[in-house]
Amino acid sequence: MRSLSAWVALALAAGVCAVPSTTVHKVKESVVSPRGWVKRAPAPADHIIELRIALPQPNFDELERHLYEVSDPFHDRYGQHLSKEEVEELVAPEAESVHLVNEWLASHGVYEDGLTRSPAKDWVHIKIPVALAEEMLRTKYHVWTHDASGSSVIRTTSYSLPEHLHDHVELIQPTTMFSHMKSLKTTFHFSHFSESAKGSASVTADAPPINIPSASGGHVDASCNATVTVTCLQQLYNAAGFTPSTTNGNQIGITGYLEQFANIQDLQSFYADQRPDALNSSFKTILINGGQNNQSLAEAGAEANLDTQFAFGLTFPTPGTFFSTGGSPPFIPDDLTPTNSNEPYLDWLAFILAQKTIPQTISTSYADDEQTVPASFAKRVCNEFAQLGARGTSLTFSSGDGGVGDGEEDPALQECFTNDGRNVTRFVPLFPPSCPFVTAVGGTIHVPETAVFFSGGGFSDLFSRPAYQNAAVTKFLNKLAPGTYKGLFNPNGRAIPDVAAQADNFLIFLGGRSGLIGGTSAAAPTFASFISLLNSARLSAGLPPLGFLNPLVYAIHAAAPDAFNDITTGNNPGCGTPGFNATEGWDAVTGVGTPNFGKLKEILTFGLGSLDLASSS
């Protein structure tokens, strides 16, 4: 067997011999030196790097047309989602692109048996030494270290391709992406944790119930004002007494990244405390790209436990899946770590899009500052999310935990400056919540509900405002005093969030102890759970799942505002400002509000004809 260095030498020799000396290379993508990252030593030549090559999707506009038609409650095709094969046909690259990229790879000694392709052939995945990547891309990779976290990645600030390939390659990563993926968990109240695995859900408050007209039975237990449980959410969002089916094919999924492990023993403690009828049930775990789900109590993840305990507790007995995706551990130069993709969204998307059957509802509580994600990468990943929506899956993402800031809970740590070398003060939206093909979920607190201070909200600098938001967002912008935050946000951008849910004081079990935790990472799986319950009701009624939610959400909000609980108090400070205010109608703190499950179920199972939807067009 040849040594790695010998293989590299042969591959480089093949590349040098095969590529004509007249080949003209041109810069494909470049970025300024990213703020917060320090360039260290050159990347080791023998380090194996995984490159994902995106081929253009010339018919994506047609896929987008299909997506909006099957997601628009005004359209005759509403709910007629596409099959896996139909989506793949719409995103397939041109044959010429496939041929030219194959030719280029072969010229560098990379042949069919050394690569993998997505089912649609729109992605090519190769594993090659850094030295070969540098030759192919006419660049130099270095080890870069993130100041705040100390984590390191292998990246470059510029790469080139042969000029004739520019129209046939959309992007190649990891190259210029310096994002720092965050788990959106803003508050973790260790002081509330008990030493025993005994929660407080069973404690009865002496105070009388809180009158909430939209809640189940018109009231919510007083204890819910301080401690949020499954029962609290069922009461508050008018879902008490509803039991989803186990036989109609409905499923819910939770994504996990950053070595966050969902502990089954903790889940059983949670069930014993809050959902005793679910005891001894569990969820399916799917490991992706080296992901793990270590069951040591010491390794239990607060984020993963929060997401799975509440999502699966609220939707029991709906089958649940926890997707654990690897690729996030920092690169340690001395160890020559075998993989260093550090872009787990792509790893997860590559897996999930290849599956014939996928959950109808999937929630994610992780994000990056939008400005740290290259525009080409963000737009391509966003388009991948559109494929899932077209297939009938609802995707929820936490809107962020820094208000209008960069996701840092502590305003003193927020860096609200552009990342383009100008260092101009700017609000910092997060991605993927800023993608118009997903549903961004903001946060509330207390009963009656008010906006929680950390609820991420604002306007995208990458994506323009989609048509489904125009009426609601324009009303909000018209309420702002002239010149409010001028230059700090893009008023024409995709607005965040779309909806909201409770986001603080959630009672979970972690490492055998009970305690309270918060963040929009609590809000996203909560909202997703009520969507999953709606999907169950629809499937049992012979109706299709909801799929891409946003056109429907804004249409229902316009025609039947009481289907969402409008949040009109609170704000989301950040970047040295008070942020935006919650107000009547849509706002950049809580979106259109929190769900009234009972009302939504009535609308979505008795037929959209029960609404005068035409009045909202």
User: How far from 499 is each of 45, 279, 319, 565, CA to CA, in Å?
Assistant: 47, 31, 25, 10
73 pLDDT higher than 80: yes
- Mean pLDDT for all residues in the chain: 89
Q: Quick one: pLDDT at residue 345?
A: 78
Separation CA 43–CA 154 (nearest Å): 7
Q: Which is catalytic among the residues 72, 266, 303, 369?
A: 303
Q: Is 307 a catalytic residue?
A: yes
Q: Quick one: pLDDT at residue 393?
A: 98
Question: What's the pTM?
Answer: 0.92
Q: Quick one: pLDDT at residue 406?
A: 75
Separation CA 262–CA 292 (nearest Å): 10
Separation CA 592–CA 550 (nearest Å): 11
Separation CA 293–CA 301 (nearest Å): 10
Q: What b/e string do you get for 245-268 counting C-beta neighbours within 10 Å, with b at 16 or more?
A: eeeeebbbbbbbbbbbbbbeebbb
Q: Is 521 a catalytic residue?
A: yes
The single residue listed with the structure tokens 């699966």 is 312
Q: Quick one: pLDDT at residue 4?
A: 43
At 603, the pLDDT band (50, 70, 90 cuts) reads very high
Helix 550-559 / helix 60-71 crossing angle, nearest 10 deg: 40
- Sign of the dihedral through C-alpha 600, 604, 608, 609: negative
In eight-state DSSP terms, residue 216 is: G
At 384, the pLDDT band (50, 70, 90 cuts) reads very high
User: How far from 363 is each of 168, 177, 183, 221, 520, CA to CA, in Å?
Assistant: 33, 24, 13, 27, 11
More reliable by pLDDT, 328 or 320: 320
What is the 3-class SS of 424-479, one letter each residue? Answer: CECCCCEECCCCCCCEEEEEEECCCCEECCCCCCEEEEEEECCHHHHHHHHHHHHH
- Mean pLDDT in residue range 380-393: 98
- Sign of the dihedral through C-alpha 353, 355, 360, 365: negative
What is 582-597 written as a DSSP string?
Answer: P-SSSBTTTBT-EE-H
Separation CA 218–CA 230 (nearest Å): 17
Cα–Cα nearest to 342, from 123, 52, 128: 52
In eight-state DSSP terms, residue 606 is: S
- Mean pLDDT in residue range 145-157: 86
Q: Which is catalytic among the residues 273, 307, 347, 368?
A: 307
The dihedral region occupied by 536, where left means phi > 0, alpha psi between -120 and 50, and beta the remainder, is alpha
Cα–Cα nearest to 368, from 604, 179, 582: 179
Q: What is the dihedral of CA 430, 432, 438, 444, to 10 degrees?
A: -40
- Mean pLDDT in residue range 322-341: 57
611 pLDDT higher than 70: no
Q: What b/e string do you get for 349-358 counting C-beta neighbours within 10 Å, with b at 16 or more?
A: bbbbbeeeeb
Separation CA 562–CA 600 (nearest Å): 9
Strands 210-211 and 152-155: unpaired
Separation CA 594–CA 592 (nearest Å): 7
CA 230 to mean position of chain CA atoms: 23
Q: Is 397 helix (H, G, I), strand (E, B) or coil?
A: strand
Cα–Cα nearest to 280, from 311, 316, 232: 316
Strands 48-54 and 123-129: antiparallel
- Domains contained in the chain, CATH given: 4-57+92-178 (no CATH), 215-255+310-318+340-508+518-616 (3.40.50.200)
| Listed range (148-157, 164-173, 458-467, 477-486) with the worst mean pLDDT | 148-157
Q: Quick one: pLDDT at residue 329?
A: 41
Q: Quick one: pLDDT at residue 609?
A: 65
Q: Is 122 a catalytic residue?
A: no
Q: Is 313 helix (H, G, I), strand (E, B) or coil?
A: helix
Strands 493-496 and 458-464: antiparallel
Q: Quick one: pLDDT at residue 304?
A: 95
pLDDT tens digits, residue range 192-248?
A: 444 444 555 444 547 899 999 999 999 999 999 999 999 999 999 999 999 999 999
Q: Which is catalytic among the residues 152, 521, 532, 536?
A: 521
At 346, the pLDDT band (50, 70, 90 cuts) reads confident
Helix 60-71 / helix 375-390 crossing angle, nearest 10 deg: 50
- Mean pLDDT in residue range 300-326: 96
The dihedral region occupied by 534, where left means phi > 0, alpha psi between -120 and 50, and beta the remainder, is alpha
Separation CA 121–CA 89 (nearest Å): 10
Query: What tokens were used for 100?
Result: 């030219």
457 pLDDT higher than 90: yes
Residue 196 burial by Cβ neighbours in a 10 Å radius (0-12, 13-18, 19+):
exposed
Whether 472 and 585 have beta carbons less than 8 Å apart is answered as yes
- Sign of the dihedral through C-alpha 158, 150, 300, 308: negative
Known binding-site residues for Ca(2+) equal 566-567, 585, 587
At 412, the pLDDT band (50, 70, 90 cuts) reads low
pLDDT tens digits, residue range 266-294?
A: 999 999 999 999 999 999 999 998 899 99
Percent of the chain, pLDDT > 70? Answer: 87
Separation CA 591–CA 580 (nearest Å): 11
pLDDT tens digits, residue range 50-65?
A: 999 999 999 999 999 9
| Residue 343 CA neighbour count, 13 Å, CB half | 24
Separation CA 43–CA 78 (nearest Å): 51
The single residue listed with the structure tokens 């509000």 is 593
